[in-house]
């Protein structure tokens, strides 16, 4: 009978390898460039971002909770998550990213429907992820509206029992003045036509009935961890501090406090490696990684 060592040697000579030494899959490319991501989505707005929506994925003991990525207003899963999805998949997470709130699931412009409808769609998707993976809860990473409206799902649709943490990239938590343009629009009577095309846009104006109700009594649930990652150069959520939340289970991060070189704006924050390191650490606070500080350009990322 051949010894185990001899068998291993023969396998090596013929070009094979023991199963334990099988090659690991190549890391997925991470695209820190928003314009390039937008071009990809123009070709196919329904394309899954790299590493996302593998419903055969089973969470590991290291990362037991799947991550659901939630896009913002007028965006879609393809142009939002060309950096975040592959980055987290490379880290070993099961990653999922739906299109939500568009006229159809394949529409280029998503998240235009009333926020209550979009939140209900998110709830259906989270249930699908939990059923497929066998996990008890999910973590949510959202950009802009996608970092705000999951709180409606958490607060009003039973999401507090299914969400472990909500991480917002420039979330519109307290709405926006759009540098004063929102009030101007109300004054000249253009909010009605905008609402007919994008109901969620009007609901994100600072002081709207939706936001007033959402933020009543703080708008948080004690069993959920909240992280807000925001840039001082946000030109959409204004003032930029309106993104922040307040509570014992909240961490607010201003990117320029940790990296003065980071010039990212609202549009490109999901393609900003400085911001995404904070996302990685918020998902796994027990194993923090060193901060990153590199130049990041507005509208581009880096």
pLDDT, tens digit, 9 for 90 and up, residues 115-142: 999 999 999 999 999 999 999 999 999 9
Determine contact, residues 40/71, Cβ cutoff 8 Å. no
At 161, phi and psi to the nearest 5?
Answer: -90, -5
What does the alpha-carbon distance between residue 114 and residue 128 come to, in Å, rounded to a whole number? 22
Q: List C-alpha distances in Å: 188 to 58, 155, 170.
A: 53, 34, 28
Determine contact, residues 219/212, Cβ cutoff 8 Å. no
Question: Length of the chain, please?
Answer: 302
Predicted local distance difference test score (pLDDT) of residue 1: 36
> Which of these ranges, 94-98, 102-106, 184-188, has the smallest mean pLDDT?
184-188
Q: List C-alpha distances in Å: 57 to 69, 96, 99, 127, 130.
A: 16, 10, 19, 15, 11
pTM of the model: 0.89
Identify the band that residue 211 occupies on the pLDDT scale cut at 50, 70 and 90. very high
CB burial class (10 A; 0-12, 13-18, 19+) of residue 195? Answer: middle
Terminal Cα-to-Cα distance of the chain (whole angstroms): 58
Q: What are the DSSP calls for 137-202, one per residue?
A: -EEEEEETHHHHTHHHHHHHSSGGGTEEEEEEES--TT-B-GGGHHHHHHHHT-HHHHHHH-HHHH
Predicted local distance difference test score (pLDDT) of residue 190: 43
Is it the case that residue 18 has pLDDT exceeding 80? no
Predicted local distance difference test score (pLDDT) of residue 23: 60
Kindly report the number of other CB atoms within 10 A of residue 16's CB atom.
11
């Amino acid at each position: 009978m051949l010894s185990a060592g001899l068998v291993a040697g023969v396998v090596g000579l013929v070009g094979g390898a023991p199963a334990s030494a099988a090659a690991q899959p190549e890391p997925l490319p991470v695209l820190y460039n928003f314009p390039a991501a937008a071009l990809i989505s123009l070709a196919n707005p329904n394309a899954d971002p790299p590493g996302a929506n593998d419903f055969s994925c089973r969470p590991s003991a290291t990362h037991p909770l799947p991550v659901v990525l939630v896009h913002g207003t007028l965006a879609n899963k393809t142009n939002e998550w060309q950096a975040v999805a592959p980055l987290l998949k490379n880290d070993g997470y099961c990653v999922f990213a739906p299109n939500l709130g568009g006229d159809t699931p394949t529409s280029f412009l998503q998240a235009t429907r009333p926020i209550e409808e979009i939140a209900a769609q998110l709830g259906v998707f989270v249930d699908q992820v939990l059923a497929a993976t066998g996990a008890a809860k999910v973590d949510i990473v959202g950009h802009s509206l996608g970092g705000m409206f999951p709180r409606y799902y958490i607060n009003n649709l039973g999401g507090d029992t299914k969400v472990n943490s909500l991480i917002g990239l420039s979330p519109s938590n307290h709405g926006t003045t759009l540098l004063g343009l929102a009030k101007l629009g109300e004054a000249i009577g253009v909010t009605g036509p905008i609402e007919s095309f994008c109901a969620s846009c009007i609901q994100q104006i600072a002081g709207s009935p939706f936001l007033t109700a959402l933020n009543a009594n703080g708008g948080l649930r004690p069993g959920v961890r909240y992280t807000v990652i925001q840039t001082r150069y946000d030109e959409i959520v204004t003032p930029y501090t309106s993104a922040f939340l307040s509570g014992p289970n909240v961490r607010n991060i201003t990117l320029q406090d940790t990296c003065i070189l980071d010039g990212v704006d609202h549009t490109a924050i999901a393609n900003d490696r400085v911001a995404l390191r904070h996302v990685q650490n918020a998902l796994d606070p027990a194993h923090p990684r060193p901060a990153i500080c590199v130049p990041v350009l507005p509208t581009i990322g880096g």
